[in-house]
Structure 1
Amino acid sequence: MEKVNLTSPDLVQKNIEAIAAAFPNVITEVKDSQGNLQRAVDFDLLRQELSAVLVEGDKERYQLTWPGKRQAILQANAPINKTLRPVKDDSVDWDTTQNVYIEGDNLEALKLLQESYLNKVKCIYIDPPYNTGKDFIYKDDFRQSTEEYLQDSGQVDEQGNRLFQNNESNGRFHSDWLTMMYPRLKLARNLLKDDGVLFISVDDNELDGLKKMCDEVFGSSNFRNTILTRRRVKSLNSQFASNGLYSLNVGFEYILVYAKSSAFLMKALRMKKDKVPTQGRWDVFWSNADRPTMRYDILGFTPETGQWRNSKEKADKAVANYQKYEAEFESKMTLEDYSEIAGVTEFIRRIPNGVGKNGGVQHWIAPSDTSLRTSNWTDIEVSQIGKEIDLPFDNPKSKALIMELVKLTDLNNDIILDFFSGSATTAHAVMQLNAEDGGNRQYIMVQLPEATAEDSEAYKAGYKNICEIGKERIRRAAKKIQEETNADIDYGFRVFRVDTGNVKDVYHSPQELHQDMFSDLTDNIKADRSGEDLLIQVMLACGLPLSLPMQTKEVMGQPVYYVAENSLVACFAEEVPEELVRLIAKDKPLRVVFRDSSFASDAARINVEEIFKALSPSTEIKVL
């Protein structure tokens, strides 16, 4: 039987395998720190394979680099021995919901989601710390003990996750922030579908570095827009205005938009105009895009360059529409009135003796109270002005802003991920939008349980960390939306917490072993872990989404776990009799997992394999 791999994926080895498939000659062997041989890449040879000229050493090139970049790449690729543990008491509608809330370091959470959500997320929105000199950001040195880190920074959350305040006096002010963001963006990209998109809120402090980093991680060709959003203007400068200002008050922030690939297309959104026109207008029908197949005769003129804006079929119909108006209705009513009465908006004409690239050919644009959205979203404030849900959290992101971003993505039955979820505005926005349009969008929220200050309103109200605020907001928002709309949508969420792996760390040299350690060698599961804890880690290892339906059945007095009917069946009983194995095999599961210690001998394990060969030969059998 094969053992379940309970660490997160080793992305270095996956990358080496991908390179080996294309360039097997660049793969070599090196010894690791224990003296074992492992595969590696001959980078000098790989560089030569990718160049049409002789490569001789390093050459200067345009790139983003900073102290800590290599460490950031290592952090992104390194596997971890962590898991997600279910927290049913904090969850809502556990059995039926498809929404997920994860408490813990988002780098670890992203690593744990790599198999289950690879290429499955349509939209990611994040609002990372802005690096203003006051924000706490993640310090991802996994080699450091909590005690060492407490001496280093004095900041640690309830789960032992490390934070530090990145003050401007720190010589690595920008480098630390970039090092924190880089591995998270690399891992996040893996989760996006080919037609997926990433939105990142940022201000002036790290805009330049963040864009260069995203160009590297996503490819500069996948940059789509920088969206401007309005920032609440503070009156800080008014008291100094008479003396001259060092700088202006900041009036807006940014949202960087990056696609996973060229497959992503935005939905054309419209916004209300401040002044609504009463008359239509004529505009040129020619554009400078160079498509020869879109050059054809209109009213005696064919362009030599560029193209017409529509197909010949549509243009001919628009010409006929205007000719009918001229012949039968021009003396009786305006074109605006005719358009409204006839329900026709497409008209094309040619100005007599028209010259130029377009030959005087024009199309009519009907009056409208809306216009197509551009990247200027300053009609939306980036932070919520008034608190819709009365909870002690400063400057929550605008729900309207995130709803508009989701609309831009044009998703209806997809997953939205926010791994800096804060007060869970994204979850609120997803539920609100589902209630309004009947969509079935699902969310995954990830938030570090950062402790609230003891003198804060949140702490006084009983919220010891930000996760408690986020979960309570989702509960209250769900209740409010349900009362106001009575919409039949998913109001629940499953809560998981990042924790150490379920298997004991039993790595001792022979001279260190003594008698009371042998129980650890026979039963490798930690004593405080439940069957559901084990099930979730197995689901992650098998690449199964955390939202799948789970059912516990009692079979011969033992709990047997079924995930998505027979996608996965697991039994973690200390002893699994042969008849129980037969009953499970008759359900013909795609995968089955047992506890390794459930079988007394190799003969018992072989017997299990023989039973499945006879009753369900396609079942994949693994043990913990």
Structure 2
Amino acid sequence: MTTEDIKEIPGTTPNFQTDLARQLEELVPEAISDGRVDVVKLQELLGADVADSSERFGLFWPGKKRALRAAQEPTSATLRPDRKNSKDWDTTKNVFIEGDNLEVLKILQKHYHGKIKMIYIDPPYNTGKDFIYPDNYKEGLDTYLEWTKQVNKEGKKVSTNSESEGRYHSNWLNMMYPRLKLARNLLTLDGVVFISIDDNEQDNLKKVCNEVFGESNFVAELPTIMNLKGNNDQFGFAGTHEYTLVYARSVNHLVLDQFPVDDEGLERWDTDERGPFKRGASLKATGTNAPRAKRPNLFFPIYVSPALEVSLTEQAGWTELLPITDGAEMSWRWSREKFLNDLYDVIVVPSGSSFTLYKKQRPTLGDIPTSKPKSTFYKPEYSSGSGTAAIKQLFDGKKVFDNPKPLGLLQDFIQLGAGRDGIVLDLFAGSAAIAHAVMALNRSDGGQRRTISIQLPEPVTEGSDAEALGYKTICEVARARIVKAGDSFAEQLEFLGVPGGVQDLGFRAFVLSDTSFSKWRVASDTDVDSLTEHLLSLRDSAADDVTHDALLTELLLKQGYSLTEDWSELEVDGLVLRSVGDGLLLAYLDERTKPTHDQLRSIVDEEPARFVILEDAFQGDDELKTNLSQLCKSKGVELWTA
């Protein structure tokens, strides 16, 4: 048996520093010396493209290097399925994750890299009263587990970031920087991120985003009117707005959708049998390539009838038109073939004794006329009060969350950036307004957008309506909101006679936790002797209190599967397995029941693409392990152990 026959599932997420070096080795192998990056050589190769280190331009703050390392540090964390707090587990493609979003972003890298169409970020605004995530930039998972009482009973160390504590802006930037770095990796090439922010950190956030996403990928900074009456608590001026920063993964690939025009705008549109239109560009070409000499095939006659009909065939009484401007022979924008096929999209306008031809401009969103959004965002439904009203409606008039984002505003962001079937990642989910907005938008336009919401289990405010209703954390409020919003949409669909199941109104819930495998529960900086002692002390691969579903979820995540994979139980020759993707992957996760050779043969005879088995299921029988390897090799089955 060779080591190539059995693949071992890694215990942590990838080491991003190592991955980056590996990419550099492929691009510029001469910059790698003795397994390390030769920075001096790299600078020589880049030549004039290297910035003068003595006069660097950028945003710098205390802790920036440590914050970057926090993003690069691998994690052994996993996500445990929480079926009890889920809705429609078996059918939904939406996800809600309770946990620190920095650790969660690392876990999502394997499968969701380059798959998220839109990211929405509504971070703490750093007003001095905001909760700041419990990072210490060394043991992110350990800090989180301690904070959530999963390790000890010291209690939640809720903290705010007040100016009196010093490094006021630095603390906030150290929280945001690693999260933005990891979030960018998840965007599709045509993906986009929307970030809400106010004056406290708007200038710093834009500089950080210029660094993370690239200044060339800046799309817009949108003043967003949230309160026309103004906030009189502000000094000097009654504040009416926040900001929304918009960045593309690649501005060369991003195509933002548009908004349907309002009633006033509709007055400028006409309608024919093919739907709405208005006058577009002239069909006579202009510019340096317009002369007939450059485009001879686009110089030909068009004939117009007295009734303003158009034809390419000469007819008695019809007027001949040629693309001539001030006596100079030019060309048409369309070919003969396009004219023949699209005559219905030509507008004829009398012009003196002749005529001018124009293109009918059609809307870009189905049959609805659309317009490019303005750079100042304002609608009455964007008011902060409408966000509160929406959540009160779901919770019997109770204000269970402070300052929820307005649904109308979020729906417009989603319409612009998520397409009709993209995945929307909500990095600071709060009350899950994005999940609510996606359901509402899918309900109105028939879209199939999906959501991933991440929220820290921050305690609700003491004495609040949320606490009075029995909710202990913001996560509990958020999950309840999704359920209640989904139920209300289901009632609407039932009232309209729409069959149930047409719209995805559920979510799979997961909770961030330490790895389910005892052998992987080792800090990254553990010395070799301590690591050896730890491994020798272990008798089982998995912790005693872990379910098979939890083990399977972790193994799937570390192999690059999504959080919404379909799986089921399957019995083969007396052994209970987990079957993923209708048998493409089979997993045997019972380390206490040693399978026989014949039972393993029966599993391999199912011919899955991949078979996963716990290392301790062999119970030290190397011969059985070798035989399984040979069986898998004979059937072309990938064998993985954990």
Answer yes or no: same fold by TM over 0.5: yes
* Structure 1 residue 205, shift from structure 2 partner: 1.5
Identical pairs, percent: 35
How far apart, in 1, do the equivalents of 2:65 and 2:161 lie?
A: 20
How far apart, in 2, do the equivalents of 1:44 and 1:105 lie?
A: 38
* Structure 1 residue 61, shift from structure 2 partner: 2.7
Contact 2:423–2:449 under 8 Å retained in 1? yes
* Structure 1 residue 562, shift from structure 2 partner: 1.0
How far apart, in 2, do the equivalents of 1:92 and 1:147 lie?
A: 29
How far apart, in 1, do the equivalents of 2:142 and 2:605 lie?
A: 52
Contact 2:134–2:144 under 8 Å retained in 1? no
Contact 1:6–1:537 under 8 Å retained in 2? no
Match of 2:408 among 400, 405, 409: 400
Q: Find the counterpart in structure 2 of residue 605 from structure 1.
A: 625
How far apart, in 1, do the equivalents of 2:202 and 2:425 lie?
A: 21
How far apart, in 2, do the equivalents of 1:138 and 1:580 lie?
A: 49
Q: Find the counterpart in structure 1 of residue 31 from structure 2.
A: 26
- Listed one character per residue, the Cα deviations across residues 28-63 of structure 1 (whole Å, up to 9, x for unaligned) are 34xxxxxxxxx331222212211148x797231321
Aligned pair count reads 569
Contact 1:266–1:409 under 8 Å retained in 2? yes
3-state secondary structure, aligned to 2:112: coil
Contact 1:7–1:79 under 8 Å retained in 2? yes
* Structure 1 residue 270, shift from structure 2 partner: 3.0
Code of the aligned partner of 1:611: L
Q: Find the counterpart in structure 1 of residue 389 from structure 2.
A: 386
* Structure 1 residue 592, shift from structure 2 partner: 1.4
Q: Find the counterpart in structure 2 of residue 292 from structure 1.
A: 288
* Structure 1 residue 444, shift from structure 2 partner: 0.7
* Structure 1 residue 350, shift from structure 2 partner: 5.8
Q: Find the counterpart in structure 2 of residue 535 from structure 1.
A: 552
Q: Find the counterpart in structure 1 of residue 15 from structure 2.
A: 10
Going from structure 1 to structure 2, the CA distance change for 1:587 and 1:68 (only over 3 Å counts) comes to: same
* Structure 1 residue 279, shift from structure 2 partner: 10
How far apart, in 2, do the equivalents of 1:259 and 1:198 lie?
A: 6
Q: Find the counterpart in structure 2 of residue 499 from structure 1.
A: 513
Match of 1:430 among 412, 432, 438: 438
Contact 2:348–2:357 under 8 Å retained in 1? no
How far apart, in 2, do the equivalents of 1:530 and 1:271 lie?
A: 53
* Structure 1 residue 467, shift from structure 2 partner: 0.4
How far apart, in 2, do the equivalents of 1:421 and 1:22 lie?
A: 38
How far apart, in 2, do the equivalents of 1:204 and 1:351 lie?
A: 56
3-state secondary structure, aligned to 1:47: helix
Contact 1:562–1:570 under 8 Å retained in 2? yes
How far apart, in 2, do the equivalents of 1:369 and 1:440 lie?
A: 22
Contact 1:126–1:201 under 8 Å retained in 2? yes
* Structure 1 residue 385, shift from structure 2 partner: 5.0
Which deviates further from its counterpart, 368-377 or 130-139? 368-377
* Structure 1 residue 375, shift from structure 2 partner: 2.1
* Structure 1 residue 171, shift from structure 2 partner: 2.4
Q: Find the counterpart in structure 1 of residue 347 from structure 2.
A: 346
How far apart, in 1, do the equivalents of 2:211 and 2:530 lie?
A: 49
Q: Find the counterpart in structure 2 of residue 595 from structure 1.
A: 614
How far apart, in 2, do the equivalents of 1:303 and 1:376 lie?
A: 45
Going from structure 1 to structure 2, the CA distance change for 1:365 and 1:571 (only over 3 Å counts) comes to: closer
Contact 2:126–2:200 under 8 Å retained in 1? yes
How far apart, in 1, do the equivalents of 2:474 and 2:205 lie?
A: 25
Contact 2:279–2:347 under 8 Å retained in 1? no
How far apart, in 2, do the equivalents of 1:456 and 1:223 lie?
A: 39
Code of the aligned partner of 1:346: I
Q: Structure 2, unaligned stretches of length 5 or more?
A: 1-5, 271-277, 293-298, 300-321, 363-367
Contact 1:294–1:312 under 8 Å retained in 2? no
Q: Find the counterpart in structure 1 of residue 45 from structure 2.
A: 49
Q: Find the counterpart in structure 2 of residue 357 from structure 1.
A: none
* Structure 1 residue 559, shift from structure 2 partner: 2.4
Q: Does 1:621 align with 2:639?
A: yes
- Listed one character per residue, the Cα deviations across residues 470-495 of structure 1 (whole Å, up to 9, x for unaligned) are 00001000110011123511111111
Q: Counterparts of 1:235-274 in structure 2 under 5 Å?
A: 237=232, 246-261=235-250, 262-272=252-262
Q: Find the counterpart in structure 2 of residue 337 from structure 1.
A: none
Match of 1:586 among 575, 600, 605: 605
Contact 2:69–2:137 under 8 Å retained in 1? no
Contact 1:82–1:112 under 8 Å retained in 2? yes
How far apart, in 2, do the equivalents of 1:278 and 1:268 lie?
A: 17
How far apart, in 1, do the equivalents of 2:289 and 2:116 lie?
A: 37
Q: Find the counterpart in structure 2 of residue 356 from structure 1.
A: none
How far apart, in 1, do the equivalents of 2:85 and 2:388 lie?
A: 29
How far apart, in 2, do the equivalents of 1:454 and 1:194 lie?
A: 44
3-state secondary structure, aligned to 1:547: coil
How far apart, in 1, do the equivalents of 2:347 and 2:10 lie?
A: 62
Q: Does 1:103 align with 2:98?
A: yes
Contact 2:383–2:406 under 8 Å retained in 1? yes
Match of 1:552 among 569, 590, 596: 569
Contact 1:69–1:179 under 8 Å retained in 2? yes
Q: Find the counterpart in structure 2 of residue 450 from structure 1.
A: 458
User: Alpha carbon RMSD of aligned pairs, Å?
Assistant: 3.9
How far apart, in 2, do the equivalents of 1:28 and 1:290 lie?
A: 57
Contact 1:85–1:499 under 8 Å retained in 2? yes
Q: Structure 1, unaligned stretches of length 5 or more?
A: 30-38, 239-244, 322-342, 354-359
How far apart, in 2, do the equivalents of 1:303 and 1:426 lie?
A: 59
Match of 1:121 among 116, 120, 142: 116
Contact 1:270–1:373 under 8 Å retained in 2? no
How far apart, in 1, do the equivalents of 2:588 and 2:516 lie?
A: 15
TM-score w.r.t. length of structure 2: 0.79
* Structure 1 residue 278, shift from structure 2 partner: 7.5
* Structure 1 residue 156, shift from structure 2 partner: 3.9
- Listed one character per residue, the Cα deviations across residues 363-412 of structure 1 (whole Å, up to 9, x for unaligned) are 9999x997542222211415315224225112211112121122112522
* Structure 1 residue 111, shift from structure 2 partner: 0.3
Match of 1:564 among 567, 576, 581: 581
Going from structure 1 to structure 2, the CA distance change for 1:249 and 1:159 (only over 3 Å counts) comes to: farther
* Structure 1 residue 64, shift from structure 2 partner: 1.9
Q: Counterparts of 1:36-435 in structure 2 under 5 Å?
A: 39-52=35-48, 58-143=53-138, 156-159=147-150, 164-233=159-228, 237=232, 246-261=235-250, 262-272=252-262, 292-293=288-289, 300-301=324-325, 311-312=333-334, 346-347=347-348, 371-379=371-379, 380-381=381-382, 383=384, 384-387=387-390, 388-390=393-395, 392-409=400-417, 411-435=419-443
* Structure 1 residue 146, shift from structure 2 partner: 10
- Listed one character per residue, the Cα deviations across residues 194-250 of structure 1 (whole Å, up to 9, x for unaligned) are 111111111122111111111111111111122232212456549xxxxxx952111
* Structure 1 residue 556, shift from structure 2 partner: 3.8
Going from structure 1 to structure 2, the CA distance change for 1:364 and 1:23 (only over 3 Å counts) comes to: closer
3-state secondary structure, aligned to 1:609: helix
- Listed one character per residue, the Cα deviations across residues 1-50 of structure 1 (whole Å, up to 9, x for unaligned) are 33210211211111001101111122134xxxxxxxxx331222212211
